[in-house]
Amino acid sequence: MLKTLFMLQNNLLAANERCFAFSLNISLRSFLIIIICLAAFLTSCSSTPDQNQDIDYSLYQDEVRELNEKILSLATINHDPSDYLLGPGDLLQIKVFEAEELNSSVRVSSRGFVTLPLIGQIMIKGLTAREAEQKIEDKYQERYIKDPHISIFVEEHFSQRITLVGQFKNPGTYDYLAKQMLLDVIALGGGLSENAGQIVQIRRGGSDQKNREMYIVDLDRLIKEGNEELNIAINGGDVLFVPEAGVFFVDGAIRRPGAYPIKHRTIVQEALMEAGGLAGYANRESLQLVRVIDGKRQVIKLDLRKTESKELVVKDRDILIVDASAMGKLVHGFNLYIGIPGAGGVGYKDPENF
């Protein structure tokens, strides 16, 4: 009897061991299957064509080469010294031909003034030497000299600078000695690189974000269509940015206007979110899409209330301009100032300017 019980116990233990081994084998197999499936899923996600959309720059290189030829033919590289821009720190020799005792050697102050005999302080910052000569002549003629003739020689020039970034052949920071137009400055940077897009972004303004301005110039319209109004004057301190081909631009009533690369299939709604979303004063129904169609820029009006507008796929060189709402600007620009009794008040600032 005891022998029978002992054999039965051994059989039960062996059965339990086989069950445990079987269940352990099933668990390991399931775990391995899960790991393999997860790895396959992650691999498929990382290799999705939409997520790694390469730009074929060869499609744009002939256009860029043609643009460069026209830019270099239209640009003015050499400038007359009388066109030099005057700025803080410049040392000037100012000669008055009719009265040598009024000749002076002066340095432009940090605020852009020079102090001259008889006429005192006069602002010349940002003027060319020729413009400054005319301004000083006018001042002397008002009270002291019937027909004055002024000559300015720049003995030391602490020039302003401009910065070229992105797809220029020779990006960098350049001394800005004389007034130049956009095409002149592009030529100064050696022209466009082979991977360049055909849009130039000019960032201009003060030291803080509120006072900055941004301009977007379409080189197709400027050069191929001959729209000379787009060949804007460049100021000292400007930053010019040429993006690679394969970008879209967002401007208008948007939180972060600028250029954004097309890294994957992007629809209008996603493009606006990438630019920080709509500003508080935006017209949430109206959007202008500027797109190249058959070689020409066309403006397409979109209604952001409609699904087909929000889900429209963004293409290379598209410009999305979010319209501002008059009521939104009024509400967001209205300010209430509260202070001591009698010192309060209301005011308005255009929200597009801050």
pLDDT score of 107:
94
pLDDT score of 347:
41
Closest CA to 237 of 197, 196, 170, 185: 185
β 113-116/199-205 pair status: unpaired
Tokens of 41: 């899923």
- Asked if 247 contacts 315 with a C-beta cutoff of 8 angstroms, the reply is no
pLDDT score of 49:
40
Tokens of 130: 């020729």
pLDDT score of 80:
67
The answer on pLDDT for 263 being more than 80 is no
Q: How many Å apart are CA 317 and CA 51, to the nearest integer?
A: 19
pLDDT score of 198:
82
| Half-sphere exposure (Cβ direction) of 286: Cα atoms closer than 13 Å | 11
Backbone angles phi, psi at 149, to 5 degrees: -130, 120
Q: How far is CA 59 from the centre of its chain?
A: 24
pLDDT tens column, 43-100: 444 433 443 345 555 556 677 888 888 888 888 766 666 677 888 899 999 999 999 9
pLDDT tens column, 134-187: 999 999 999 999 999 999 998 888 767 899 999 999 999 998 888 889 999 999
- CATH superfamily name and code, 247-354: Outer membrane lipoprotein wza domain like (3.10.560.10)
Q: How many Å apart are CA 69 and CA 72, to the nearest integer?
A: 5
pLDDT score of 40:
45
Question: Which residues 6+ apart lie within 8 Å of 63 measured at CB?
Answer: 198
pLDDT score of 182:
93
Q: How many Å apart are CA 144 and CA 233, to the nearest integer?
A: 35
Closest CA to 197 of 218, 212, 176, 213: 218
Name the residue ranges covered by the structural domains of the chain. 51-80+159-245, 86-156, 247-354
β 247-252/319-324 pair status: parallel
* Domain 51-80+159-245: CATH architecture, name and number where available: Roll (3.10)
The answer on pLDDT for 246 being more than 90 is no
User: What is the percent of the chain with per-residue pLDDT over 70, rounded to a whole number?
Assistant: 70
**86-156: CATH topology:** wza like fold (3.30.1950)
Domains 51-80+159-245 and 247-354 share a fold: yes
pLDDT tens column, 204-245: 865 455 556 888 888 888 887 888 899 998 988 899 999 888
Q: How far is CA 256 from the centre of its chain?
A: 10
SS3 94: strand
